[in-house]
Amino acid sequence: MTDHDPAFADHPDASLDAIGLLCPLPVLKARKRLKSLAPGAVLQMLADDPAAVIDVPHFCAEAGHEFLGQIAQDDHQIYRIRKGG
């Protein structure tokens, strides 16, 4: 993904800073944060756990959320998740 990805053009409805957390904590924190959001809301999560690149899309597929993509930064990734219905 690039900084010009349409999934990252709008502001997210909520954000989560999971930098410094290791597997499975980024996904567990995302699950908890998504529970309080309305269906269709977008969560932006920052994470630097190398396993999150695999874990976040897998979590979305299993939980019924839409994985909108990720952007790589110098020292972390930015993930976007749309809450499923």
Domain that includes residue 18, residue range:
6-82
Catalytic residue of the set 23, 28, 63, 71:
23
24 inside domain: yes
Token representation of residue 3: 């900084």
CATH label of the domain that carries residue 77: 3.30.110.40
1 inside domain: no
21 inside domain: yes
**Is 23 marked active-site?**
yes
Contact 24, 75 (CB under 8 A): no
Instruction: For residue 1, name the pLDDT band (cuts at 50, 70, 90).
Output: very low
Reported as a single tens digit per residue, the pLDDT across 50-61 is: 999 999 999 999
**Distances, alpha carbon 67 to alpha carbons 1, 14, 85, in Å:** 12, 15, 14
Total count of domains within the chain = 1
**pTM of the complete model beyond 0.75:** yes
- Over the Cα atoms of the chain, what is R_g? 12
Return the beta strands (E) in the chain as ranges: 14-17, 42-47, 66-72, 77-82
Q: What is the overall mean pLDDT for the chain? A: 94
pLDDT on residue 8: 83
